[in-house]
Amino acid sequence: MYQLVLEAANLKPYKESLRYIGGIMRQVPELDLYSFTKGTVSEKKTFSDLLFNGLKDYGFIVLTGHTVSTDLLDQAYKCLNHLFSLSESSKLKYSMPDNGHQRGYTPFAVEHAKNSKIADLKEFWHIGREPDTPGFNSSTSLKNFWPSELDGFKKTFLELYSKLDHVGLTLLEALTSELELDTSYFYDRVSNGNSILRLLHYPPIDSDVEKGALRAAPHEDINLITILVAATQSGLQLKDRDGSWLDIDAPKNSLIVDAGDMLSRITNEVIPSTTHQVINPDGSNTRRYSMPFFIHPNPDAVLECLPSCIGEGVKYPPITSDSFLKERLKEIGL
């Protein structure tokens, strides 16, 4: 199913998404997570170096060798299709605008990029940690909505959430050596965090769409890192360091990883948050599904500059993860 959906969308082969700056080929690095989880000491160090430098230079990397199975992705995309085929009235039963749409359904054209007045051409569903998760804080965490109309939805996405959460913690651990931190630094601050799995649907573009509207206008992610399952249609672009746009068309069954504002903040912009967008389809006007997983710290974790990144001075004052998140949610219309 997953493979067929990708092939039907006519994605460009990954190796064709190339640009050159000053005669140097620009292509988002592809890393194999297996070399960190099962590799030698030397292979682990090489992976950490490449991950750190890839995020510094591009803001994105493409990840293979992970543990998220194709069968699970097949089932997840099948569930997405059923979810967004529900009637609007059915979906709105699970909408939670009073809490920043942090769980359940967010209707089409509600969210917009920071500093933009034009809504994005998308609808989505948010899933967070379950109340039975060890360390779940009922005073700061929110309960999930599980649509009664869909069999297997909860089981599928709790499994996907768990798998992506594990990948995220592994990647953050891989960054600790380059940032001169204990290997448990991020685990201690993220293991019970408000991480979110977003189920995204970009419908076909109407002919009367507002001028300038995009599926996702240029933006940066709020969180530490984002893990994005390769989407069912191309369109994702990052803003390269020279200001031009670089296509990101990853191999099937790979994950795309990018750095968010929280990681940029604690690293004093050593690892910058990279602007990216999802452009409207050129040619076949088909729907697009995507599943980004946003890694967030624990709500009371303090975002402050890491000692190894102070450089010539700290650029941002300390702030709790929860306060920073609430500020940003307001800025994007949630």
All domains in the chain, ordered by first residue? 2-331 (2.60.120.330)
Q: What are the backbone dihedrals phi and psi of residue 61, each rounded to the nearest 5 degrees, phi first?
A: -140, 160
The dihedral through the CA atoms of 133, 139, 141, 146 has a sign that is positive
Q: What are the backbone dihedrals phi and psi of residue 207, each rounded to the nearest 5 degrees, phi first?
A: -70, -25
Rounded CA-CA distance 329/334 in Å is: 5
The one-letter amino acid at 95? S
Cβ atoms of 289 and 270 within 8 Å: the answer is no
Q: Tens digits of per-residue pLDDT, 266-317?
A: 999 999 999 999 998 876 688 899 999 999 999 899 999 999 999 999 999 9
Rounded CA-CA distance 300/62 in Å is: 31
Q: In 255-266, which positions are buried (b, 16+ CB within 10 angstroms) versus exposed (e)?
A: bbbbbbbbbbbb
Cβ atoms of 314 and 268 within 8 Å: the answer is yes
Cβ atoms of 289 and 80 within 8 Å: the answer is yes
Q: Tens digits of per-residue pLDDT, 281-295?
A: 876 688 899 999 999
Q: Tokens in use for 120?
A: 């994005």
* Per-position pLDDT tens, the chain of length 334: 433 333 333 333 333 345 555 555 678 899 999 999 999 999 999 999 999 999 999 999 999 999 899 999 989 999 999 999 999 999 999 998 877 788 999 999 898 888 888 999 999 999 999 876 665 555 456 889 999 999 999 999 999 999 999 999 999 999 999 999 999 999 999 988 889 999 999 999 888 888 889 999 999 999 999 999 877 777 899 999 888 999 887 887 889 999 999 999 999 999 999 999 999 887 668 889 999 999 999 989 999 999 999 999 999 999 999 999 989 888 887 7
